[in-house]
Amino acid sequence: MSSHTITQTTYQQQLADGKLMASHCPACNASYLPPRPMCPQCFGAQMEWREMPTHGKLAAFTVVHIAPTAMIEAGYGRDNPYCSGIVELENGLKISAQITGVDVSQPELIQIGSAVQAEFLQREAGAFLAFEVIE
Amino acid sequence: MSKKKLSRGVALVGAGMSKFGAFPGLATRDLFVEAFQEMLTTIDKGIDPKDIEALYIGNYSSDLFEHQGHTAPIMADWTGLAPRPATRIEDACASSGVALRQGIIAIASGLYDIVLVGGIEKMSDLPTAEVTDTLATASDMLYEIPAGFTFPGFYAAMGTAYMHQYGATPESFMHVGIKNHNNGTLNEKAQFGATIRKIMDGKIAKAEAKGYPVPDWADEVEFLQDNRANPIIAWPMRLFDCSPISDGAAALLLVSEEIATQFTDTPLYIIGSGQASDVALHDREVLTSIKAARLAGQEAYEMAGVTPADIQGAEAHDCFTIAEIIATEDLGFFAPG
């Protein structure tokens, strides 16, 4: 029976504390990001929290001009586009995040493979994971 | 995957479709009745609609698009088929394809002999931001949407990964849009029914007529590269890389193989079908291919006993131009890249 220790709510609180946490299965020695309450390989439920590296590289991206309501409320949209992407962490796990430190007016210059570093954005709606391009 | 077969044969004997477009004032049911009525006229030897035993209706999100849940029984009622069992199938972009598969499975199981399969969507009542929100609910609301991803954004991200891996450019994608708009002119029910060239010439003519500066696009690609004519939705996907916000419906009649010739001398037999699921984009090993499409294709090919080389015509999913490129590779028509 799951005791519901690995949840999105807790993950979100950890983001607010400036930590990127995954769940780890001791039996498989595998980590999962986003964190899962059950290991999808061995179906084990003895999952533990494990802190993730904050550095990685950009694996894919887009610059969004037609934004969803939540991002419009955060000040983005047609006149203020933003970059979203998928980051591969140093340990190989991948995660979706907003990408900062890029010139969204020149998306053709944004490089897949660029080194990125986690940052934790605080907005009215809560804490959001982002990665800043640092090279 | 083991080689699986249908327990008994299934045939397609009728097909109808509404016009596709943006139709203020028309509800989903109106479009489905239009498709249903046309479907009835396509059955060579006719059918008494009362002989239809069950409905499988593909629909992504009437709940959010029209604030209407429990949509399938309404479709049964409005086509005069209540109280027959009516089931809605939701599987994002694949909803109607999966409804077809469920209809096939229902007949192959022996439970029914005559099944109506529908596909319905009425998207145009919502403003664009809310359509964007609704489409985005097909992704992971907890872990993908907080990153700012939209549905065009996911395919755009696959697009940048594809460009990085294979050296494609935004122009590579534009050629898919040019081809597909050409194909659209062959279908009188298509939403635009105009080539990119015709749309471009129309804008030039309009500028001339109104005395505005006349754009100097040399060809379709220059037109598609122009931010004003073809705004960015989620780079590298621009407006004409994206399927439009559409209203429309389709209806198919499936029957068991044994009775197919009661309806037509030329039934189309279903010889293969496949389906698979996939994980969030960030959990995929590769970002330039869709594993579910590869597995579903393999399953269908194995069931049918054919290979990609045997296929003479295909309609691949092209919600975005990059989607069609990836689909044609995953279905084995082209090598990756």
**Per residue in B24-39, pLDDT tens?**
999 999 999 999 999 9
Residue B1 pLDDT exceeds 90: no
pLDDT surpasses 60 at B263: yes
Work out the average pLDDT over B278-305.
97
* Chain A residues closer than 8 Å to B158 by CB: 60
Q: What is the pLDDT of residue A3?
A: 74
Query: Is B157 in contact with A84 (Cβ distance < 8 A)?
Result: yes
Q: What is the mean pLDDT of residues B268-287?
A: 97
| CB-CB under 8 Å, A85 with B157 | yes
Q: Residues 6 or more apart from B199 whose CB is under 8 A from it?
A: B181, B192, B223
Burial label, A79 (beta-carbon count in 10 A; 0-12, 13-18, 19+): exposed
Is residue A56 within 8 A of residue A112, CB to CB? The reply is: no
Kindly list the residues from chain B whose CB atom is less than 8 angstroms away from the CB atom of residue A107.
Answer: 235-236
pLDDT of A2 > 80? The answer is no
**Average pLDDT of the residues in B163-170:** 98
Query: Which 3 state secondary structure label does DSSP give B202?
Result: helix
**Distance of residue A11 Cα from the nearest chain B Cα, in angstroms:** 10
Average pLDDT score over residue span B104-123? 98
How close B154 comes to chain A (CA, Å)? 8
Question: Which residues 20-79 of B have a C-beta within 8 angstroms of A?
Answer: none
Would you state the pLDDT for residue B2? 54
What's this model's pTM, rounded to 2 decimal places?
Answer: 0.95
In angstroms, rounded to a whole number, what is the distance separating the alpha carbons of residues B6 and B107? 9
Query: Mean pLDDT across the stretch A5-25?
Result: 96
Are B112 and B66 a contacting pair, CB within 8 Å?
no
- Judging contacts by C-beta atoms under 8 Å, the chain B residues touching residue A63 are 156, 232, 234-235
Residue of B nearest to A65 (CA): B233
Chain A residues whose C-beta is within 8 A of a chain B C-beta are: 8, 34, 59-72, 76, 78, 81-82, 84-86, 94-98, 107-108, 110, 112-113, 128-129
User: What chain A residue is nearest to B156 in terms of C-alpha separation?
Assistant: A62
Nearest to A112 among B144, B160, B235 (CB): B160
**Contact (CB<8Å) B161/A60:** yes
Specify the CATH class of B10-124+245-270 in words.
Answer: alpha beta
Question: Is residue A11's pLDDT more than 50?
Answer: yes
In the sheet with A30-32, reading across from the earlier edge strand, the strands are: A30-32, A21-25, A48-51
Long-range contacts of A40-49 (CB under 8 A, 24+ apart): A45/A2, A47/A5, A47/A6, A47/A23, A48/A23, A48/A24, A49/A6, A49/A10, A49/A14, A49/A21, A49/A22, A49/A23, A49/A24
- Whether B319 contacts B155, CB under 8 Å: yes
Rounded mean pLDDT, A68-76: 94
Res. A1 pLDDT band, cuts 50 70 90: very low
Mean pLDDT score, B118-147: 95
Q: Which residues of B137-151 are buried (b: 16+ CB within 10 A; e: fewer)?
A: bbbbeebbbbbbbbb
